[in-house]
Amino acid sequence: MRLRVLPKGQVPDLVRALMADYRVWGPKAKGPQFAFEPLYDPAEMRLDYNISILSPKVALQPPQERVAVFRMDGGFTVEPVVEAEPTVIFGMHTCDLHALALLDRAFSADFPDAHYTERRQQALIVSIECLQPCDEHSFCKSMGTWTADSGYDLHLIDLGDAYAVYVGTEAGEALLAKYAPQARPAADAEVRRLNEVMSAKWPRFPHRLNFDAAELPALLATAYDHPIWTELGDRCLSCGSCTNVCPTCYCFNVIDSPELSLKEAVRLRRWDSCQLDEFARVASGENFREARAARQRHRMFRKGKWLYERFGELGCVGCGRCIRACLTHINIVDTFNAIHASQHRR
Amino acid sequence: MSKSSVAKPKVAFFDFASCEGCQLTVVDSLQTHLDLLDAVEIVNFREAATLNGWDFDIAFVEGSITRPHDEERLKRIREQAKILVALGACADTACVNALKNLQPPDEVRRYVYGEHADWYETYAARPLSAVVKVDAVIPGCPIDQEEFVEVVKALLVGKKPPIPDYPVCVECKLKGNVCMFHIGKVCLGPVTRAGCGAICPTYGDGCEGCRGIIPHPNENAMEEVLDEAGLTLDDIMHRFTMFNAYREVETGKW
Amino acid sequence: MTDSLYAPRVARLADIRPMTELEKLFVVEFPDGSSLGHQPGQFVMLSIPGVGEAPISISSSPSRSNGHFELCVRRMGDVTGVLHRMKPGDFVGIRGPFGHGFPIEQMRGRDILFAPGGLGLAPLRSLINQVMDERGSFGRVIILYGAKRPAELLFRDELEQWAARDDVEFHVTVDRGDETWTGNVGVITTLFPKITVDPRNTVAVTCGPPIMYRFVLMEMLGKGIPETQIYLSLERRMKCGVSKCGHCQINHLYACKEGPVFTYAQIKNVPEAL
Ligand SMILES: Cc1cc2nc3c(=O)[nH]c(=O)nc-3n(C[C@H](O)[C@H](O)[C@H](O)COP(=O)(O)OP(=O)(O)OC[C@H]3O[C@@H](n4cnc5c(N)ncnc54)[C@H](O)[C@@H]3O)c2cc1C
Ligand code: SF4
Ligand code: SF4
Ligand code: SF4
Ligand code: SF4
Ligand code: SF4
Ligand code: FES
């Protein structure tokens, strides 16, 4: 893999140059926290952010988007709306990068979803290595997502006064050549510095899962009727925050809304959550996941088993966002650990 | 599209005990959405015009029922209307009007009407649904302009108004807000019906529950959240009382 | 212009036939005369612009398509309510056909036992009529149909035709009779003792409300029909029809993709399915 070095002082120039040709998304301060948003000024970007409230998937699957427009006039016509533009997502952490790999599979499997895939094709990813855990809730080390050797076009590692830049793709190489010609091959000293930085990183990250994440699907297979689901169900508010912040959740609702004139209508899709009461309810009133316990189990099984079986990737990348967002402290790591402990006690 | 759905529905507005803020929001909507007047024909709207027609299809009714006398008028409206919509929190949940339900009724009457209290018959404030069948509600104190327009659109195409059953947290997260609890504030969003676009947390204030409580709230869990935020049980009741006193009196819970 | 999975094709309601108080049959055609190209047991997503979309089974047999297909729809809510107020000549949106239908090739040469309950006849009728049209390539055909009341029986003219055929064993029952009803009264499971089957050579097919199919499955298993030869069509909330939106997920299965038709063997150990 090609390695370059970019002095830190030149990052704002790079971002500014990119902004001329791309929509550039990056981490920005939002109160005491951070959010991925389009950048309008390179100075807004905070590459020192710990974690963003919503994952950067917002750039590829927005919370709400139009998917079609109907024009009515006696009969009607349908116009698909696929909105994509050249985009750079700057400063993505590696947990979110791994999540992206799963979204890529989910949206391109079987029936490719152009709303996602078109945006994805036009998006370049500049990720950045976390040198310390974002906070006490992350467990990326346990999920093997605390670093990445692919999935990005460019990947930054903070060397102090410069960034080491791994070039992951030809598109990344071209981007660097065009927008950051100052980037140069790494000198020996810089490679040594990079190795030091990376070896200092490992011990800073704790393992939070008490077992190998690869065991998760098999572990959950034994835990369908585990009492912990009732316990979580009793505590859960069904607020949907855990799924809305999750980088691998992609469920949605489809909603049609007419204009007042009834001459036009839009079809929207909006993030939806399996934690909400009505998610699996049908018109006859039957609700196929009525109990909060069943909905919690569904979420955690989707993360630890079902998506893995379908796409070969675990549905949890250990970012810890669901834990931070949950006001009743429902904690996916503690849950998996508790199941593991109880299944191995006997 | 069905060609039969183009006839303009006749719409009427009525009010009972309320601040008329929701009707004012309707008046504002008429100004911001000029095509509203192309879509419906308003035949009765005291607040905005001196119209008092009784030939209407859809009745938007604002306000709580606070006197036995109100019931008759409401029932007459119900008889005429094909669709009756409760407009705003007063009509939907009895809103702040129900605060008086927490006091002995004689005291309230005396406080409001002084020495003439006995001339006026008033009773515990109640939502429209306690008296007649309500086909749809537009929650909120006051109602949200956009939601009002969405409801009108839904009625025009013949579907039930899209009032969410999920809590404010959903809209709050979709907006990417910092959670109020993470900055030391208190918020009733997890149990309050969404639809306002989480406007209060978006502007940095905790939700006060003005749109009423969602259908199946997890009351214990919410109390624990508020307890952890430092509220006593009294504080908790107090917080919900503002907009949800009717529910409090009816169910014995907040 | 890039196409969207969620943008329907425009179709015309060629005819609308009243059936019961709650159900109507909608004959749908594409203006360009093209055919839907479906398998029995598949469904479409039916849109009404500005109102929404609903999954509806295709009720007509591919063998009788000649440029149109039929949907038997119960008035339940928004989309179905507005649809019921529409007139012939009005337009709707159609996406699909979607899902995994009945594997008709694997049914050839076998005896077939159909046991639909209520509206469950809608998807099964597609298969039944294909079997009727290719009657020679199937063994015995047994149809057991149950409805709540006589007034709720669907496709009455076809029921009569099936009853009149001597190559079809047809039994119908209603939960509650009325003055005019002289036939069987009782739930659908009361029809099972009337029939004998050669279990190894029989394929059984059912669809209906959960409370009904749970008992019907017991009867089918009770007759000794192998689990891999019992087919059932499941209902779930659906928003996309293309295995994306997550609404129809039954544990690891998507009803819109792996289903809606499943074998009993496929789902008997899936706790959320039945
Ligand atoms: C595979 C399949 C085949 C079906 N075939 C038929 C049929 O042939 N005839 C028939 O009358 N009905 C059928 N149904 C049921 C039909 O889809 C619902 O009655 C319909 O969605 C109700 O929509 P609505 O807008 O009128 O009701 P509302 O209550 O207003 O529902 C709102 C929305 O929720 C979703 N929804 C609600 N109920 C269901 C449901 N049961 N299944 C899926 N999504 C739902 C839909 O997106 C619907 O538009 C089928 C359902 C499935 C899953
Ligand atoms: S965030 Fe917590 S309370 Fe809310 S739905 Fe998820 S688990 Fe339940
Ligand atoms: S389940 Fe929780 S920790 Fe795992 S990826 Fe989703 S938000 Fe992150
Ligand atoms: S979870 Fe790990 S990879 Fe993700 S932001 Fe936190 S430290 Fe970085
Ligand atoms: S601020 Fe309030 S509404 Fe928003 S997520 Fe937090 S609790 Fe929910
Ligand atoms: S956030 Fe809460 S108090 Fe504010 S408008 Fe919405 S429901 Fe009312
Ligand atoms: S209907 Fe969306 S996943 Fe099946």
Residues B137 and B224 in one domain: no
The pLDDT of residue B3 is 42
Mean pLDDT of chain C: 93
Closest approach atom of ligand 3 to CA A319: 8
Evaluate whether residue B162 is within a structural domain. no
Which chains reach chain B with 3 or more Cβ–Cβ distances below 8 angstroms?
Answer: A, C
Residues B149 and B114 in one domain: yes
Residues B35 and B147 in one domain: yes
Give the residues of chain B that fall short of pLDDT 50.
Answer: 1-5
The pLDDT of residue C271 is 84
Question: For residues B19, B25, B31 and B34, what is the CA-based torsion angle, rounded to 10 degrees?
Answer: -130
For residue C267, the one-letter residue type is I
Q: Closest partner residue to B1 among C49, C79, C81, by Cβ?
A: C49
Evaluate whether residue B49 is within a structural domain. yes
pLDDT band at C173 (very low <50, low <70, confident <90, very high): very high
- Pocket mutation for ligand 4, best pick of A48, A93, A321 (most atoms within 8 Å of C-beta): A93
Contact criterion met (CB below 8 Å) for A326 and A207: no
Q: Are strands A264-271 and A64-73 parallel, antiparallel or unpaired?
A: antiparallel
Domain count, chain B: 2
Residue A205 main-chain phi, psi, to 5 deg: -100, 125
Ligand 2 center–CA B236 separation, angstroms: 20
Three-class SS state of A16: helix
Residues B76 and B120 in one domain: yes
Residues B47 and B143 in one domain: yes
What is residue A237's DSSP assignment? -
The protein residue with its alpha carbon nearest to ligand 4, atom 2, reads A140
The correct answer on CATH 3.40.50.80 for the domain covering C104-233 is: yes
Residues B194-203 as b or e (16 or more Cβ within 10 Å = b): bbbbbbbbee
What is residue A328's DSSP assignment? T
Tell me how far apart the 2 most distant CA atoms of chain B are, in Å: 61
pLDDT band at A67 (very low <50, low <70, confident <90, very high): very high
Ligand 6 center–CA A329 separation, angstroms: 24
Question: What CA–CA distance (Å, rounded) separates B222 from B228?
Answer: 10
Residues B149 and B225 in one domain: no
- C30-81, pLDDT tens digit by residue? 999 999 999 999 999 999 999 999 999 999 999 888 889 999 999 999 999 9
Residues B140 and B221 in one domain: no
Question: What CA–CA distance (Å, rounded) separates B101 from A193?
Answer: 72
Return the beta strands (E) in A81-175 as ranges.
Answer: 87-92, 123-128, 154-158, 162-167
R_g (Cα) of chain B, nearest Å? 19
Evaluate whether residue B215 is within a structural domain. yes
Residue A299 main-chain phi, psi, to 5 deg: -60, -50
R_g (Cα) of chain A, nearest Å? 22
Mean pLDDT of chain A: 95
Residue C94 main-chain phi, psi, to 5 deg: -130, 130
Closest approach atom of ligand 3 to CA A325: 7
How do the domains of chain C map onto residue ranges?
A: 9-98, 104-233
Evaluate whether residue B118 is within a structural domain. yes
The pLDDT of residue A285 is 85
Residues B8 and B101 in one domain: yes
The pLDDT of residue A235 is 95
Number of C-beta neighbours around residue A13 at 10 A: 15
Evaluate whether residue B161 is within a structural domain. no
Q: Which of A145, A50, A168, A28 lies closest to A98 in space, CA to CA?
A: A145
Number of C-beta neighbours around residue B225 at 10 A: 25
- A218-231, pLDDT tens digit by residue? 999 999 999 999 99
Ligand 1 center–CA A112 separation, angstroms: 24
The pLDDT of residue C1 is 64
Last residue of a domain, one of B124, B156, B188: B156
Query: A319 CB under 6 A from ligand 3?
Result: yes
Tell how far CA B176 is from the center of its chain: 26
Number of C-beta neighbours around residue A193 at 10 A: 18
Last residue of a domain, one of B130, B156, B182: B156
* Residue-range definition of the domain harbouring residue B50: 3-156
Q: How many residues does chain A have?
A: 346
Q: Do C50 and B1 touch (CB under 8 A)?
A: yes
- C237-271, pLDDT tens digit by residue? 999 999 999 999 999 999 999 999 999 999 998 88
Residues B12 and B102 in one domain: yes
Q: Quick one: tokens of C215?
A: 């008992």
Query: C259 CB under 6 A from ligand 7?
Result: no
Range name among A122-131, A299-308, B92-101, B210-219 with the lowest pLDDT average = B92-101
pLDDT band at A41 (very low <50, low <70, confident <90, very high): very high
Evaluate whether residue B217 is within a structural domain. yes
Residues B183 and B152 in one domain: no
**Contacts C82 to B, Cβ<8 Å:** 2, 157-159
**Contacts A32 to B, Cβ<8 Å:** 178, 182-183
Question: What CA–CA distance (Å, rounded) separates A123 from C164?
Answer: 64
Ligand 7 center–CA C2 separation, angstroms: 22
- C100-131, pLDDT tens digit by residue? 999 999 999 999 999 999 999 999 999 999 99
**Contacts A302 to C, Cβ<8 Å:** 249
Higher pLDDT, residue B252 or A300: A300
Evaluate whether residue B239 is within a structural domain. yes
Q: Which of C3, C244, C241, C97 lies closest to A114 in space, CA to CA?
A: C3
Q: Which of C146, C214, C212 lies closest to C176 in space, CA to CA?
A: C146
Evaluate whether residue B163 is within a structural domain. no
Is B52 touching A (CB cutoff 8 A)? no
User: Which ligand is nearest to the Cα of residue A127, counting in written order?
Assistant: 4
Question: What CA–CA distance (Å, rounded) separates A322 from B141?
Answer: 31
The class (CATH top level) of C9-98 is mainly beta
Contact criterion met (CB below 8 Å) for B74 and B41: no
Question: What CA–CA distance (Å, rounded) separates C52 from A286?
Answer: 20
Q: Could you tell me the sign of the dihedral formed by the alpha carbons of B113, B118, B119, B120, in that order? A: positive
**Cα distances (Å, whole numbers) of residue C257 to A183, A259, C97:** 48, 33, 11
What is residue A124's DSSP assignment? E
Residues B88 and B178 in one domain: no
Q: Which of B113, B154, B109 lies closest to B136 in space, CA to CA?
A: B154
Q: Do C87 and B3 touch (CB under 8 A)?
A: yes
Closest approach atom of ligand 5 to CA B198: 3
Q: How far is C121 from chain A (nearest CA, A)?
A: 17
- Residue of chain C minimizing CA distance to A298: C251
The pLDDT of residue B242 is 73
Ligand 7 center–CA A112 separation, angstroms: 14
Q: Closest partner residue to C4 among A80, A252, A288, by Cβ?
A: A80
Q: Which of A339, A1, A317, A6 lies closest to A184 in space, CA to CA?
A: A6
Last residue of a domain, one of B156, B187, B212: B156
Q: Do B166 and A64 touch (CB under 8 A)?
A: no
- C79-99, pLDDT tens digit by residue? 999 999 999 999 999 999 999
Query: What is the domain-level CATH number for residue B115?
Result: 3.40.50.700
Ligand 5 center–CA B219 separation, angstroms: 16
Q: How far is C8 from chain A (nearest CA, A)?
A: 7
CA angle B183/A59/A62 to nearest 5° reads 80
- Residue of chain B minimizing CA distance to C84: B2
State the DSSP string of chain B. Answer: --GGGGSPPEEEEEE-BS-SHHHHHHHHHHHH-TTHHHH-EEEEETTTSS-B----SEEEEESBB-SHHHHHHHHHHHHH-SEEEEESHHHHH-GGGGGGGGS-HHHHHHHHHGGGGGG------B-GGGTS--SEEE-SSS--HHHHHHHHHHHHHT-------SBHHHHHHHTTPPPGGGGT----GGGBB--S-SHHHHTT-----TT-B-SS--HHHHHHHHHHTT--HHHHHHHHHHHHHHHHHHHS--
Q: Quick one: tokens of A39?
A: 């950048």
Q: Closest partner residue to A76 among C91, C244, C271, by Cβ?
A: C91
The pLDDT of residue A230 is 95
CA angle A78/A81/A86 to nearest 5° reads 160
Residues B224 and B202 in one domain: yes
* Predicted ipTM of the assembly: 0.94
Q: At C69, which helix (H) or strand (E)? A: strand C69-74
Question: What CA–CA distance (Å, rounded) separates A83 from A60?
Answer: 10
Q: Closest partner residue to B174 among A35, A74, A244, by Cβ?
A: A244
Q: How far is C267 from chain A (nearest CA, A)?
A: 15
User: Which ligand is nearest to the Cα of residue B88, counting in written order?
Assistant: 6
* Cβ-based neighbours of B246, under 8 Å, separated by 6 or more: B93, B94, B95, B98, B101, B125, B126, B127
Three-class SS state of A65: strand
